[in-house]
């Protein structure tokens, strides 16, 4: 029993050290040194494991052993407060001067049938029509550019909603006639008075922006963000005996492949984040930054943005707020960040799995502009 107790204590202290490192590593620029970013990905599970260990010692009446957990909790409290939202108001705030924004990575509407999701586009369109946003931002958007074609999703969304203005930032043109377009898109009820993109090298990911003119000639700059993807495939998550019997690779080949892809993605996101921050600093208007960031709340990307903007989920959300509907649970990697001058009136998440990311929606007040 004593041996088991000592082993548990050593494991407890080792996990506390990893917990601290996972938090502090989020302040290291991954474009300079990417390896620590792999630790920051584990902050949330390490939080729960360390808490369970502390509860175990408390249950056994070994109170002194809970003190290291309390000390570590104080040291990482900012990471915890970024990872969990505690909604204090049960009713939405109200303002006459407000606009509603919705964002979602729509996974090209599952046109290649990667997932068992039928009629993904029509289900997402129904969500949009029910929510009736003033501004709609999609990542991994697909549209055929020929009029009258079923998959001309630009016309489809324009015709069935009141979102008549749009900015489609095309990244890929595919098909024999280059008529299948992929990218990020912003639809708006309000006039779009300017638009553009932040050039990203050696990637299919994108950052686009557009300036929308609200009533009373108030202009807000919207950034539609899709930061570096990891590009993991399903086989890399398959560690079954049958898979290894069928193709017996090295036992370490898959974990090493995943780590290489993670490091490469973190390094690129570090560069992309710095470009985004530079654009935010130069913006002549208040900004709203939405999209799929592919990074958790304890990350270099999040820490960089929180210096300038507020997280709508933390203002009016509740719990962990997972936005990824794929194989890895409890990941919050999609955000709506708003200028401090814009008040967050409410925040909601769509809990329907119509894509591999959940849709997010918030209302913002521009009375202070």
Domain spans, the chain: 2-83, 98-365
Asked if residue 246 has pLDDT above 70, the reply is: no
Once rounded to an integer, what is the mean pLDDT over residues 76-99?
87
Give how far Cα 124 sits from Cα of 74, 195, 299, 346, Å: 41, 25, 29, 21
Say how far apart CA 26 and CA 21 lie, in whole Å: 9
Confidence grade of residue 119 (pLDDT, cut at 50, 70, 90): confident
User: pLDDT at position 94, please?
Assistant: 85
- CATH among 3.60.10.10, 3.60.15.10, 3.20.20.30, 3.30.70.260 for 98-365: 3.60.10.10
Q: How far is CA 124 from the centre of its chain?
A: 18
Region 3-17: what's the mean pLDDT?
A: 91
pLDDT digits (tens, 9 = 90+) for 306-340: 999 999 999 999 999 999 988 788 899 999 999 99
In this predicted model, what pLDDT tens digit does every residue of 263-315 receive, in sequence order?
A: 999 999 999 999 999 999 999 999 999 999 999 999 999 999 999 999 999 99
Q: State pLDDT tens for residues 41-79.
A: 999 999 999 999 999 999 988 999 999 999 999 999 999
pLDDT per residue as tens digits for the range 175-234 = 767 788 999 999 999 999 999 999 999 999 999 999 999 999 999 999 999 999 988 765
Ranges of beta strands (E only) in the chain are 98-105, 135-144, 165-174, 180-188, 192-198, 206-214, 218-226, 287-292, 310-311, 334-338, 343-349, 360-365
Check residue 241 and give its pLDDT.
Answer: 47
Which residue, among 149, 11, 25, has the nearest Cα to 76 in the 3D structure? 25
| Alpha-carbon separation of residue 280 from 3, 171, 343 (angstroms) | 56, 22, 18
pLDDT band at residue 149 under the 50/70/90 scheme: low
Q: Which residues pair with 343 in a beta bridge?
A: 365
What's the pLDDT at 240? 47
Contact predicate 200/275, CB 8 Å:
yes
Q: Sign (positive/negative) of CA torsion 104, 108, 111, 115?
A: negative
Calpha distance 60→46 (Å, rounded): 21
Task: Report the distance separating Cα 147 and Cα 79, nearest Å.
Answer: 48
Closest by CA to 291, choosing from 98, 157, 141, is 141
Q: 248 pLDDT exceeds 60?
A: no
Whether residue 266 contacts residue 242, with contact meaning beta carbons closer than 8 Å, is answered with: no
């Amino acid at each position: 029993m004593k041996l088991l107790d000592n082993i548990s204590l050593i494991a407890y202290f080792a996990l506390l050290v990893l917990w601290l490192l996972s938090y502090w590593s989020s302040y290291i620029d991954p474009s300079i040194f990417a390896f620590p970013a792999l630790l920051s990905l584990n902050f949330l599970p390490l939080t729960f494991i360390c808490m369970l260990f502390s509860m175990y010692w408390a249950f056994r009446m070994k109170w002194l052993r809970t003190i290291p957990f309390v000390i570590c909790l104080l040291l990482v409290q900012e990471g915890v407060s970024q990872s969990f939202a505690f909604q204090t108001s049960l009713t939405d705030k109200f303002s006459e001067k407000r606009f509603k924004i919705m964002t979602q990575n729509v996974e090209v509407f599952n046109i290649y049938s990667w997932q068992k999701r039928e009629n993904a586009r029509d289900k997402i369109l129904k969500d949009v029509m029910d929510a009736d946003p003033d501004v709609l931002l999609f990542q991994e958007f697909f549209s055929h550019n020929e009029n009258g074609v079923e998959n001309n999703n630009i016309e489809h969304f324009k015709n069935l909603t009141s979102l008549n203005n749009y900015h489609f930032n095309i990244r890929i043109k595919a098909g024999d006639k280059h008529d299948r377009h992929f990218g990020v898109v912003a639809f708006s009820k309000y006039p779009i008075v300017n638009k553009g993109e932040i050039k990203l090298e050696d990637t299919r990911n994108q950052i686009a922006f557009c300036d929308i003119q609200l009533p009373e000639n108030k202009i807000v700059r919207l950034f539609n963000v899709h930061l570096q993807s990891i590009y993991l495939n399903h086989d890399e998550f398959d560690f079954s005996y049958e898979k290894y019997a069928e193709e017996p690779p090295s036992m370490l080949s898959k974990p090493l492949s995943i780590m290489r892809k993670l490091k490469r993605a973190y390094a690129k996101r570090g560069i992309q984040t710095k470009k985004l921050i530079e654009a935010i600093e130069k913006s002549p208007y208040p900004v709203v930054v939405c999209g799929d960031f592919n990074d958790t709340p304890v990350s270099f990307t999040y820490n960089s943005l929180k210096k300038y903007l507020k997280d709508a989920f933390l203002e009016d959300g509740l719990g962990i707020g997972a936005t990824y509907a794929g194989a890895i649970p409890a990941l919050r990697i999609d955000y709506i960040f708003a200028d401090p001058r814009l008040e967050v009136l409410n925040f909601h998440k769509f809990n329907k799995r119509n894509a591999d990311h959940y849709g997010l929606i918030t209302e913002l007040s521009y009375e202070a502009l």
